[in-house]
A and B are shown apart, each in its own frame.
Chain A
C-alpha cells in the first residue's frame, strides 16, 4: 500500500517535470552502460590496430579511432563504469563521514562543533583541486587514492549542510517529543533528525556526483590516478588534446561530450530527487 503510493509519487514527479524525467532517463542510460559496458561495447577497448589509426567517425567506428587504432565508442562505454564507480565511492564516503560529523556537530554543539567546523574550514582554505592533487601525489598514484582525495575535498559540503540542518531542528518540538517517547540522544539523531536532513543532503549528493566525476576525470587528465591503457574519460580527453590542432577533433571531443553530459545529468537530477524525497511534496 505504502510502496504503491511511493511509486505513484515518483511517477507524479516525473510527469510533472519533463526535465527531471529526461535527466533520470539519461542517468538510467549511464547506469546501464556502467554496469554492462564491457559486454555491449562493439570492440575491445584495449585492442590496438596500426592499420586504423586516427580514423574519423564512420559507420563502423561511430566515434572514430584514436592514435593507436582503438575504437573510441567502445572506450567511452567501458570508461563509464570506472568514472561512475570512482565518483560514487567518493561521494558515498564523504556523505557517510560528512553527515555523521556534521550532524554530531550540529546536535551536540560545544567542543565537537568547534573541532568539526574548524576541520571543514581548514579543508575549505585550500584550493580544492590542488589539495586533491597533493593528496594523490602523497598517497600514491592509484584509483583508490583518487577516491579518497575526492571524498576529502567534498567533506566540508556535507559537514556544513548536515550541521546547519540539524542545528535548526535540534530544539524542535518533535525532538523533545522523541525524548519523551523514550529515545536516547543517539536514536534521536539517527531516527528523527537524520531523515529530516536527507532532502537537502540528497541534492548535495547529486550535485556532488557531477563534481566528483569532473574531479576524478580532472586528476586523470593531468596524469594522476588512472594509468594510460585503461579507458577513462579524463585520460582520453588528455590523449586527444594534442591531435585537436591537426584536425583529429573526435579523439577528445566524444569523451569530453559524454563527461559533460554526465555532469549535466547529475546537476538536473538533484532537484528531481529532492522532490521525490521530501514528503511535503506528497499529496
Chain B
C-alpha cells in the first residue's frame, strides 16, 4: 500500500467537454472541423483524504454528475489527471476499468434507486453481483456475505428474494447502498442518494450513511443540492458553478462565512436558515451558456450581484483566502 500521507483521491485540472452534434445526417462524414463544445467540467481540482467526507453542491447542470462519473471512472476525461492512492486511474479507459484492482475501491450510490436496479434481478442478485465479480466470492460464502451486508443496511432478509418493483423506495435505496458498500470501498460516491425519497425515509437513510461511514471508515464524496444534508454530513464543501469550482473550504466556514457571491446566494436560499427575511439574495439574469464559454470572462458574470469591469476582462482563478479555504472571485466577500 502507498504512503498513508498521500490523499485517497487527487483530481487535478480534470476536464470533460462534450461535442455538440450539429444535426448532421447519415452521411455527415467530413463534418466541420471544430464542433461547438459543451464544457461540462472545466478544470476542477479536488482532493479527498482518507476517511474524509466532502460535499459537492451546485445547481442542476453545473457538472456535478459529470464530475462524479469521471471520478467513478464510468466516463473518460478530456484532460487532467485522476489519482487514486497516488496511482493514475484517469488514463485507464472506462471500458477497461472494470478489470482493474481499483474498481472495488471506488463505488457509488445512485440518485434514483428505481432506475439503478435491474428490474429483472432480485435484491439478492443486485447485492451479490459486485461480491461475485470483484470480490470473487461464491456459494455459501457469497450468500453469507450478502446476508451480512443486508443486515448492515437494515434490510430484512425475507425481502432479498424480491424484484425491485416489489420493494418500496426506501427498501430500494437500501439495496443500492448495500450493493455499494458490500466490498467495503475506500471511496463511496453518493450522487444525491436521498433526492428520490420522501422526507421521512431521507432521515433514516442519512443516519444509516453516517453510521456506515463510521463503522467502515470510508471516505464520502457527497453530491447534493440539499445544503442542509451537506452541512450535516460533510467535513468539507465544494461549490460548483458551470463546470468550475467557485468556492471550497471547511463546511462550517463555508456555511457561516461564504466568500463567493454565488455561495452566498445559494445559502440564502436555504429555507429557515437565514433568520432575517431581507437577507435573501435573488439572482437576476440568465446563466452563461456552457457551450464554448468565453475564457476571459467570469462565468458567473451576468447573474452576479457584484459584476464589475474586471469580471469581463479575466476569469477568476481559485485563490486561497485562509487555511483550506479558497475562492474563485475577483471581489470575494470579506470573511
- Residues of A participating in the B interface, judged by any CB pair closer than 8 Å: 1-2, 114, 172-174, 176-185, 192, 195-196, 279-280, 282-283
Q: Decide if B116 touches A176 in the complex (CB within 8 Å).
A: yes
- Residues of B participating in the A interface, judged by any CB pair closer than 8 Å: 26, 69, 72, 74, 94-95, 97-99, 103-104, 106-108, 110-112, 115-121, 126, 129-130, 133-134, 161, 163, 165-166, 176, 179-180
Determine the chain A residues whose CB is within 8 A of the CB of B176 once the complex forms: 177
Q: Decide if B179 touches A181 in the complex (CB within 8 Å).
A: yes
Determine the chain A residues whose CB is within 8 A of the CB of B112 once the complex forms: 173
Select A195's contact among B26, B106, B120, B134, beta carbons within 8 Å.
B120
Q: Taking the nearest CB of chain A, how far is it from the CB of B135, in angstroms?
A: 9
Q: Please name 7 further chain A to chain B contacts, defined as beta carbons within 8 Å, in addition to the given A173-B117, A195-B118, sorted by A numbering.
A: A174-B116, A177-B116, A179-B74, A182-B98, A182-B103, A183-B133, A280-B165
Select B134's contact among A174, A176, A182, beta carbons within 8 Å.
A182
Q: Could you list some 5 contacts between A and B, CB below 8 A? A: A176-B110, A177-B108, A177-B179, A182-B103, A183-B133
In the bound assembly, the distance between CA atoms of A2 and B123 in angstroms comes to 14
Select B99's contact among A180, A181, A184, beta carbons within 8 Å.
A184
Q: Taking the nearest CB of chain B, how far is it from the CB of A16, in angstroms?
A: 18
Nearest B-chain residue to A280, judged by Cβ: B165
Interface of chain A: mostly helix, strand, loop or mixed: helix
Given A177-B179, A180-B130, A185 contacting B119 (CB threshold 8 A)? no
Q: Taking the nearest CB of chain B, how far is it from the CB of A149, in angstroms?
A: 29
Q: Which of A182, A184, A195 has the most CB of B within 10 A?
A: A182
In the bound assembly, the distance between CA atoms of A1 and B133 in angstroms comes to 25
Q: Decide if A180 touches B161 in the complex (CB within 8 Å).
A: no
Q: Decide if B104 touches A182 in the complex (CB within 8 Å).
A: yes
Nearest B-chain residue to A195, judged by Cβ: B120
Determine the chain A residues whose CB is within 8 A of the CB of B107 once the complex forms: 180
Q: Decide if A180 touches B115 in the complex (CB within 8 Å).
A: no
Determine the chain B residues whose CB is within 8 A of the CB of A279 once the complex forms: 119-120, 163, 165
Q: Decide if A196 touches B118 in the complex (CB within 8 Å).
A: yes
Determine the chain B residues whose CB is within 8 A of the CB of A183 once the complex forms: 98, 129, 133
Q: Decide if A114 touches B163 in the complex (CB within 8 Å).
A: no
Q: Decide if A180 touches B74 in the complex (CB within 8 Å).
A: yes
In the bound assembly, the distance between CA atoms of A200 and B301 in angstroms comes to 51
Determine the chain A residues whose CB is within 8 A of the CB of B99 once the complex forms: 182, 184
Determine the chain A residues whose CB is within 8 A of the CB of B117 once the complex forms: 173-174, 177
Q: Taking the nearest CB of chain A, how far is it from the CB of B247, in angstroms?
A: 29
Q: Decide if B104 touches A176 in the complex (CB within 8 Å).
A: no
Determine the chain B residues whose CB is within 8 A of the CB of A176 once the complex forms: 69, 74, 110, 116
In the bound assembly, the distance between CA atoms of A1 and B160 in angstroms comes to 13
Given A1-B161, A185-B95, A180 contacting B119 (CB threshold 8 A)? no
Q: Taking the nearest CB of chain B, how far is it from the CB of A1, in angstroms?
A: 7
In the bound assembly, the distance between CA atoms of A280 and B112 in angstroms comes to 18
Determine the chain A residues whose CB is within 8 A of the CB of B104 once the complex forms: 182
Q: Decide if B72 touches A180 in the complex (CB within 8 Å).
A: yes
Nearest B-chain residue to A193, judged by Cβ: B118
Given A182-B98, A184-B98, A192-B118, A177 contacting B133 (CB threshold 8 A)? no
Q: Taking the nearest CB of chain A, how far is it from the CB of B93, in angstroms?
A: 11
Q: Taking the nearest CB of chain B, how far is it from the CB of A196, in angstroms?
A: 6
In the bound assembly, the distance between CA atoms of A185 and B110 in angstroms comes to 19
Q: Taking the nearest CB of chain B, how far is it from the CB of A44, in angstroms?
A: 49
Determine the chain A residues whose CB is within 8 A of the CB of B119 once the complex forms: 174, 196, 279-280
Select A180's contact among B26, B108, B118, B121, beta carbons within 8 Å.
B108
Nearest A-chain residue to B95, judged by Cβ: A185
Determine the chain B residues whose CB is within 8 A of the CB of A179 once the complex forms: 74, 94, 97-98
Q: Taking the nearest CB of chain B, how far is it from the CB of A8, in angstroms?
A: 14
In the bound assembly, the distance between CA atoms of A2 and B124 in angstroms comes to 13
In the bound assembly, the distance between CA atoms of A106 and B161 in angstroms comes to 31
In the bound assembly, the distance between CA atoms of A1 and B122 in angstroms comes to 14
Determine the chain A residues whose CB is within 8 A of the CB of B133 once the complex forms: 181-183
Determine the chain B residues whose CB is within 8 A of the CB of A282 once the complex forms: 163, 166
In the bound assembly, the distance between CA atoms of A1 and B130 in angstroms comes to 24
Determine the chain A residues whose CB is within 8 A of the CB of B126 once the complex forms: 177
Select B116's contact among A2, A173, A185, A196, beta carbons within 8 Å.
A173
Nearest A-chain residue to B125, judged by Cβ: A191
